[in-house]
Amino acid sequence: MVPKDYVIGVEDILNVVFWRDKELSAEVVVRPDGKIFLPILNDVQAAGLTPLQLAEALQTAAAKFVLDPGATVIVKEIRSRKVYVVGEVTKPGTFPLANDMNVLQIIAEAGGFLEHANKDEVVIVRNENGQE
């Protein structure tokens, strides 16, 4: 279960359920432009919203077509949060970032350090407000 304040991101998988009209319901992937596609509603902005905010927006949009649509958004899979591990580890690559993971746990996910890795030279780079 995701926290209430979770913000939907690109590549997340969502279950959108309309209680009054199952034909509008769908499992969707958030596209690189941050939008999802739903029947009748077409493209809807999802990235940057919480599931509750998106559900409210979908309910408002669907109200033009369905009486009291009752929309719910469930985050099925978080794919937007990931880290990239490169360098002297067993399995460099991209790894999903679960809540509250630390650097040691991510290095363990990457198979740990290689024998001759310089563990004192680990560099963490993160983007904040679009800057490294």
**Average of per-residue pLDDT values in the chain:** 92
| pLDDT at residue number 58 | 96
pLDDT, tens digit, 9 for 90 and up, residues 75-96: 999 999 899 999 999 999 999 8
pLDDT, tens digit, 9 for 90 and up, residues 55-74: 999 999 999 988 888 999 99
Q: Is the pLDDT of residue 1 over 80?
A: no
Distance CA 78, CA 76 (A): 7
Percentage of the residues of the chain whose pLDDT score is greater than 90: 66
| pLDDT at residue number 3 | 82
C-beta of residue 41 within 8 angstroms of C-beta of residue 23: no
C-beta of residue 27 within 8 angstroms of C-beta of residue 15: yes
pTM: 0.77
Please report where in the chains the tokens 């009054």 appear, as a residue. 20
Cβ atoms within 10 Å of 109's Cβ, excluding its own: 18
